[in-house]
Chains A and B, each alone.
Chain A
Amino acid sequence: MKICVLVKEVPDAAVTKRIDPSTGRMDRSGERNLNPYDTHAIEAAMQLKEGGELQIEEIVAVTMGPESAVRALHKAVSLGADRSVHLTDPALAGSDVAATGYALASAIKSESPDLVLLGQQSDDGECYTIGAVVAEHLGMPSLTQVVRMDVEGEGVRCERQAEYGYDTVQVAFPAVISVGDAINEPRYPSLKAIMGAKKKPLATVATGDVGIDAAMVGADGSQVQCGEFKAPPQKAAGQIIEDDDTNETVGKIVAWLDERKLI
């Protein structure tokens, strides 16, 4: 069996900047990082492989993005993927969600995976949707926001929280499943794995290599045109207290609540 894991590089504003101990310089790689939800997808793939119930021959990390997106693949490989595929082409710039999903599906198609895993959402916006688009183009069922996945029969039994409580769904392979962050605790890559990541096979492919119809991607091929950005009505900024002296902080909170008759 083969598992493809879709990964994405996202801006990582939340990560504290750090100094790279080997160079003494600011580690700028922290500014863009592997989408945190995707680390759970890789971990889920690793657990299926190590669980032994399925014979997983290979875990392949796949991404689409500019040259810098290679870092997300290196991270994915350091977390356990066997090799990676980087779909990159200037023609893809400006693709909307539907076009991106189509392009990714085209790259995945040539891998013929039995299972495609991805994080349930990306930190930079495209909530919940890319998996369903990829699945539709691959002709596979899609299940999103899965928080538990067990091998059962010719597929996996998945649990997820939906509108009315927890649903359990049996999904037969091949399938596309996006996972939530409660599904597992991703491992930390070993130093050896980090150092070895760049040596694992990485295929760089362009649109023509994987049969992408150029008229279906990029800004021109996208069906949505976004623009006319404007500021939303702003709520007045709230008061902020930095907790230096907790007794004083608590006094301020109580006074604030008391003033509004909330106690």
Chain B
Amino acid sequence: MADILIYALHYEGAFNKNSLGAITEGARLAAETGGQAHAVVVGEGVSDELAATLGDYGAVKVFKAEGPEGLAQPVIDVMAHVMTENAIQYALFGGGLLGFEIGAGLAARLHAGVTMEVTGVLVEDGKLIAQRPILGDSAISQSRYKDKGIIISRLNAFEAKASGGSAEVVAVSADPSPQAAQASIVSRGEQRGADVDIEGAGTLVAGGRGLGNADGFELLQALAKAFGGSTAVAATRAVVDAGWYPYAGQIGQTGKTVAPKLYLAAGISGAIQHKVGMQASENIVAINKDSNAPIFEFSDLGVVGDLNKIVPKLTEAIAAKRGA
């Protein structure tokens, strides 16, 4: 029998869908061991009504603490307290930036084992075993824990399923660690750049660092225009951080998850953090000059070559085809 504590990330009155997926999965796993799944929420003025809705995904109790949102240390303090007080053996996170930070810090605090990028969890003899793809997803490694285990899933690894139900909300407060007072949020959730809608697009033309500079996106805009219809331009995190494209158009770990009919990637190497946001696309075409780029391992059509030569001609050819 093992109990599992799942972190529920809260932002502006709603819970993150990856957290809800983790609660669904946690509830399934806990039931299989004969234990219970509980959720933990750290936030400013989260109502009991909202917290109780986590029961709909399988949480039996929701431990709710007041604290700043968007920082790891206050959550580590609360989760370590809840796990110790209630003898909870495992913690589960639905991925994301905070999940990694909190999970790793919590493992250090509790002297627990930690596994990240987990895509599946099994139960054996009442214990959890985490499965993690390694070496560019060419193999899967299984993690077993000597005692406590912290499991941080890959983004979109678990699907949220509402099954009806309400959780008991338990107010908790933990003594803050001294270092928690050293970090404070100045501003959160700032949207940079124009509002771009990439989630509704049937075709996405996406650009990465291989574009060379911000002007490279003009090539992609022209290609998207040639495709016409519901085509939009998207980007990787690296180029959004570099200021070449708006944050709203970003795919991956800290961006959007998409599954268009066609995903055309130009100058994108295909790092895991990007892959998790687009691998469900129906058709993946990649153009990259590096034949060793990981993206060629999961693309349906890979083109090894210079996008500056290929994209303009492809734009012309598609425009001609559609005009014909």
- Which A residues are within 8 Å of any B CB, using their own CB? 13-14, 96-98, 101-102, 125-133, 135-137, 139-145, 147, 155, 157, 160-172, 175, 180-182, 216, 222-232, 235, 237-243, 246-247, 249-251, 253-254, 256-258, 260, 262-263
Contact = CB atoms under 8 A, between A and B. Distances in A.
Contact of A223 (B100, B145, B192): B145
B104 A239 contact: no
Contacts, number: 270
Given A98-B108, A164-B189, A262-B283, A182 B309 contact: no
Interface of B: 9, 11-12, 16, 70-73, 76, 96-98, 100-105, 107-109, 111-117, 133-134, 137-149, 152, 177-180, 182-192, 203, 227, 237-238, 240-242, 247, 254, 261-262, 272-273, 283-285, 290-292, 296-306, 309-310, 313-314, 317-318, 321-322
Given A157-B186, A223-B145, A163 B98 contact: yes
A231 B101 contact: no
B292 A13 contact: yes
A251 B297 CA distance: 23
A128 B310 contact: no
Given A127-B116, A243-B309, A246-B310, A101 B189 contact: no
B114 A98 contact: yes
Nearest to A231: B139
Given A241-B301, A247-B313, A164 B100 contact: no
B188 A224 contact: no
A243 B303 contact: yes
A117 to B, nearest CB: 16
A260 B291 CA distance: 24
A165 B246 CA distance: 10
Contact of B114 (A129, A235, A238): A129
Contacts of A229: 134, 139-142
Chain A at the B interface: SS class: mixed
B96 A249 contact: no
A13 to B, nearest CB: 7
B242 A182 contact: yes
Contact of A163 (B9, B237, B238): B9
Given A141-B183, A231-B139, A167 B188 contact: yes
A181 B305 contact: no
Contacts of B96: 162-163
A98 B149 CA distance: 11
Contacts of B242: 182
16 contacts: A101-B104, A127-B100, A129-B103, A147-B241, A162-B70, A162-B188, A164-B189, A165-B189, A181-B238, A228-B142, A232-B139, A238-B302, A243-B305, A247-B313, A254-B314, A262-B203
Given A223-B146, A226-B142, A232-B139, A139 B100 contact: no
Given A136-B105, A247-B313, A256 B301 contact: yes
A238 B299 contact: yes
Contacts of B116: 97, 126-129
Nearest to B119: A232
A140 B105 CA distance: 11
A251 B71 CA distance: 51
A149 B254 CA distance: 19
A151 to B, nearest CB: 14
Contact of A166 (B71, B180, B203, B247): B247
Name the residue among B178, B238, B241, B299 with the largest chain A CB count within 10 angstroms.
Answer: B241
A161 B11 CA distance: 15
Chain B at the A interface: SS class: mixed
Nearest to A102: B108
A143 B183 contact: yes
Given A101-B104, A165-B190, 18 more contacts: A98-B114, A101-B108, A125-B134, A127-B116, A128-B101, A136-B105, A168-B186, A172-B182, A216-B111, A223-B107, A224-B146, A226-B143, A230-B139, A239-B300, A241-B304, A243-B306, A257-B285, A260-B283
Given A139-B179, A238-B296, A132 B238 contact: no
Contacts of B145: 223-225
Contacts of B322: 263
Given A127-B117, A240-B296, A167 B143 contact: no
Contacts of A98: 104, 107-108, 111-114
A181 B238 CA distance: 7
Given A232-B137, A238-B299, A241-B301, A172 B183 contact: yes
Contacts of B139: 229-232
Nearest to B143: A224
Contacts of B134: 125, 229
A14 B294 CA distance: 10
A133 B192 contact: no
B179 A263 contact: no
B305 A141 contact: no
Contacts of A160: 97
Contacts of A14: 290, 292
A227 B70 contact: no
Contacts of B76: 136
Given A161-B241, A169-B183, A128 B296 contact: no
Nearest to A254: B317
A155 B182 CA distance: 9
A140 B179 contact: yes
